[in-house]
Structure 1
């Protein structure tokens, strides 16, 4: 592992670039370079600058996006931990198909710099394996990319040839989990956030080691706050303990499950309802994009609302909802919308969903 920035080089599409070459290229980006390649050059220019710090953007899935200043040393430690755990070695092909504005994309580049991985670039899209002919050992994708890949036989075949896949950036539903279960390579769901510089725990989704629990890396210590939200102590990547908004359950073997986010708890009639848990139950029969949110209610405090990207037979849907949800969790209103609000990296924008529901229910 190369943890000294001045000694790092980048193996890109099979060609090795020294630090000096990268700096020159970043200062004079080749004409005709794609926007994604330009983003890579800009990140590398910042990475090889004299500053020990760089900036990363949060997704804003639960509020206003933030810009965080982080130490490059900590990003390299995060990369080292992941590469050692997954046994990634110099020369291994690794697919970069995530936006470089966010931590997931940046960390793929840092892993390549630290471990000497051969980085294969594809502009972020819903079908990252559409034209990849190079055999890949490792890739990181969001759930939608994996789902789309499984729907196209040629792309699925390429995925089957991959040894290691990590999936992050969003919830993995039962359909996707079933879809990756038969893949021959190792497939993991990741748990982490921008503040932890990518993941601090992994959950195996297939094979004999498949589990419903996340297992933290050995250097990570977990506990729960009085509100049952996860507290993370990860001294190699975070200077201070991080109190998350993720409601969790810890187990004696140090593994954990995430039940949902504290800010997604709806207090309706003095009963606390976790929006993600309701959504998980509704996924059994709702195939279009949807979200559970809430609006202020004089009687209940907050009323549960279902936002749906499609006009549906409400009588039929009500009957289906009655079968899977107890009365106190059932949406008081079902609202059809043209598009669910999303953040820049494709997650449901929870804050905007609440505002949208309120606007749609305002008296005319």
Structure 2
């Protein structure tokens, strides 16, 4: 039987099942309450999608789906008994919920943290972490500090989700010898259904056991997975299938920019320009978007999450991109926004952010 540790307080699964805790922090209480419900056999859980490409919607997930997902991840990584899990992502969303479920199903020790960009500020550097999930922002913050980068490199398995890791971040992960994987999944598939090893090469996603994939006539991925409700889940992700259960992710079809008849995959290009953005602005959020244009149909523009006072630097960046990138891969204009519109899970809502300027 495992246990849950928060700060210096240790709760056995039996204590959690009985509701025996003394925590007052609302975030910790909701995490413990979910664990209590699970341990008492609750069968249905209401979840909300992130809303990154449309309106957020509520879904009911079944216990059996979550159990299948946890078992598939355990089989994929060959997780052994007695592993310690660090839960440092939002447990109100599917990624964090599934970290709790994995710990409960694997009878593991769950080390729970408050939400912070560098969760290692809250735990002992001597802790032996076997499995952890983070978002790219957290990985960046951990690598920026010497003490936490050393802890990160000792984690047995690190999965990264919520958003794609940039090319520069993936190079840092490789150079620090971190055993990390980019995830592919969504609320509808109960967290990830495929993982790609971050090793400095182009990402190739391998599906979890018993997951079948294919593409429609527009090269959009469909998924048949035992952890999903739908027999076949059609996504809006453009992929290239390169082997049995192995695919290369290209980008979302609804983020494709059609400029003068040339189709540009915004997310792939964003990864390519990350080093140039970082060279001028450091670690800031940004994205490419298609603005309606009478001549081109759409023209590609760049959004930067920074102060309007940085206009000179923005023009400098445009000049660099024009010099370094192909003609049709260079943004025609740049927009500076103090703070992007975010979804409930913290992802950038591109459409609503763009509407602030158009």
Shared topology, TM-score over 0.5? yes
Kindly state the Cα deviation for residue 129 of structure 1 after the two structures are TM-superposed. 1.1
Note closer, same or farther for the CA distance 1:184–1:302 as it changes in structure 2 (3 Å cut). Answer: closer
| Whole-Å separation in 2 of the counterparts to 1:190 and 1:129 | 22
Aligned to 2:253: 262
Q: Which runs of 5+ in 2 are unaligned?
A: 279-283
Does the 8 A contact of 1:268 with 1:302 survive in 2? yes
Aligned to 1:135: 128
Note closer, same or farther for the CA distance 1:69–1:304 as it changes in structure 2 (3 Å cut). Answer: same
| Whole-Å separation in 1 of the counterparts to 2:3 and 2:54 | 37
Note closer, same or farther for the CA distance 1:116–1:45 as it changes in structure 2 (3 Å cut). Answer: closer
Does the 8 A contact of 1:63 with 1:350 survive in 2? no
| Whole-Å separation in 2 of the counterparts to 1:315 and 1:74 | 49
Aligned to 1:126: 117
Does the 8 A contact of 2:318 with 2:331 survive in 1? no
User: Residue 86 of structure 1 is aligned with which of 57, 77, 88?
Assistant: 77
Note closer, same or farther for the CA distance 1:46–1:64 as it changes in structure 2 (3 Å cut). Answer: farther
| Whole-Å separation in 1 of the counterparts to 2:42 and 2:4 | 24
Q: Aligned to 1:285, what secondary structure does the other structure show?
A: helix
| Greater mean alpha carbon deviation, residues 76-85 or residues 37-46 | 37-46
| Greater mean alpha carbon deviation, residues 110-119 or residues 88-97 | 88-97
Does the 8 A contact of 1:294 with 1:357 survive in 2? no
Q: Which runs of 5+ in 1 are unaligned?
A: 1-8, 359-364
Does the 8 A contact of 1:293 with 1:353 survive in 2? no
Note closer, same or farther for the CA distance 1:144–1:301 as it changes in structure 2 (3 Å cut). Answer: same
User: Residue 115 of structure 1 is aligned with which of 106, 130, 142?
Assistant: 106
Aligned to 1:177: 170
Note closer, same or farther for the CA distance 1:183–1:315 as it changes in structure 2 (3 Å cut). Answer: closer
Kindly state the Cα deviation for residue 111 of structure 1 after the two structures are TM-superposed. 0.5
Residues 166-211 of structure 1: per-residue CA shift (max 9 Å, x gap)? 111111111111111134452211111111111111111149xx66
Aligned to 2:140: 147
Kindly state the Cα deviation for residue 273 of structure 1 after the two structures are TM-superposed. 1.8
TM-score when normalising by structure 2: 0.89
| Whole-Å separation in 2 of the counterparts to 1:278 and 1:329 | 7
Aligned to 1:3: none
Matched length: 343
Aligned ranges 1:1-364 → 2 under 5 Å: 11-13=3-5, 15-18=11-14, 21-25=15-19, 30=22, 32-48=23-39, 51-133=42-124, 134-184=127-177, 186-206=179-199, 212-287=203-278, 288-310=284-306, 311-313=310-312, 314-358=314-358
| Whole-Å separation in 2 of the counterparts to 1:315 and 1:156 | 34
Does the 8 A contact of 1:269 with 1:302 survive in 2? yes
Kindly state the Cα deviation for residue 353 of structure 1 after the two structures are TM-superposed. 2.3
Note closer, same or farther for the CA distance 1:324–1:253 as it changes in structure 2 (3 Å cut). Answer: farther
TM-score when normalising by structure 1: 0.87
| Whole-Å separation in 2 of the counterparts to 1:136 and 1:306 | 39
Give the superposed CA RMSD. 2.1
